[in-house]
Amino acid sequence: MSRKRIYEIIEKSEGHDKLSSIYDFSMIVIIVISLIPLAFKEDNAVFTVLDKVSVAVFIADYALRWMTADYKFGKRSLTSFVKYPFSIMAIVDLVSILPSLSFISSGFKLLRILRMIRALRVLRVFKAVRYSRSFEIIGNVLRSSKNSLIAVCALAGGYILISALVVFNVEPDSFKNFFDAIYWATVSLTTVGYGDIYPVSTLGRIITMVSSIFGIAIVALPAGIITAGYMNEISKEKSEGENE
């Protein structure tokens, strides 16, 4: 099998290549299976086998993608093979593999560190992004709406900062430090309301109510922007499909 054919198979299927579709579906299944052991505290032989098999598949997938990097970047040169390991998805692939290859020492401190590192296996779920057309559409939406989303994030950040400054000065006794005020402002903005930190004065409560009301509007903005962009992308795809 030629490297070009391998590239066509391992890249996300457009629907007309059955072998590529089977590969994509199989990879998603393996990714989901590899995450099952993370839902349990104890390890057993079955989970160990699942982990080793899934990691072996991920290593093979990583190697094949690296081997066909020149087709991915459209440059038939060594530069493509050097560039690939530093691409975002290649880094996600590598990070999802490395924790399972870690050598576990008998040292207690090192064991704790390795357990934390092994928790990074949850990043395997992000490997599924490359196999889904819906995620690709969302990626296009985020890129096209980048300026609007940045503006909303800046608005939310400014609002959190101002609310924190106001309530911190209105009720200094309710907040140990300014970070607590920022935490309260963030919780109020998102209308979560954990209740672990809260103002007790009348003015402080009024500020909380105003912050929560405006927070609903600010939190709703990104959802509206992304939804509108998603619908535009769907309409664009339908138009392109009809033209073809």
Please give the full DSSP string across 22-64, using - where no structure is assigned. HHHHHHHHHHHHHHGGGG-SS--HHHHHHHHHHHHHHHHHHHH
Q: How far is CA 77 from CA 63, 65, 88, 167, in A?
A: 17, 15, 20, 59
Among 134, 199, 202, CA closest to 164: 199
**What confidence tens digit (pLDDT) does each residue in 103-156 have?**
544 444 444 444 455 555 555 666 776 666 677 778 788 888 888 888 888 988
Judged on CB neighbours under 10 Å (0-12, 13-18, 19+), 171 is buried
Exposure of 164 in the CB half-sphere (CA atoms within 13 A): 19
The predicted pLDDT at position 106 comes to 44
Among 40, 220, 227, 210, CA closest to 137: 227
The predicted pLDDT at position 40 comes to 77
The predicted pLDDT at position 70 comes to 87
**List of domains in the chain:** 3-131 (1.20.120.350), 144-243 (1.10.287.70)
The predicted pLDDT at position 63 comes to 92
Mean pLDDT of the chain: 79
The predicted pLDDT at position 45 comes to 87
Q: Which residue has the higher pLDDT, 137 or 86?
A: 86
Whole-structure pTM over 0.85, yes or no?
no
Most confident of 129-138, 161-170, 223-232: 161-170
Q: Which residue has the higher pLDDT, 129 or 89?
A: 89
Average pLDDT over residues 164-186: 87
H helices present in 84-201, as ranges: 88-97, 108-118, 133-144, 146-170, 178-189
Task: Please tell me what DSSP assigns to residue 105.
Answer: P
The predicted pLDDT at position 14 comes to 59
**What confidence tens digit (pLDDT) does each residue in 3-54 have?**
888 888 887 655 577 888 888 888 888 888 888 887 777 778 888 888 888 8
Average pLDDT over residues 149-170: 89
Q: Which residue has the higher pLDDT, 136 or 84?
A: 84
**What confidence tens digit (pLDDT) does each residue in 176-200 have?**
888 888 998 888 887 777 778 888 8
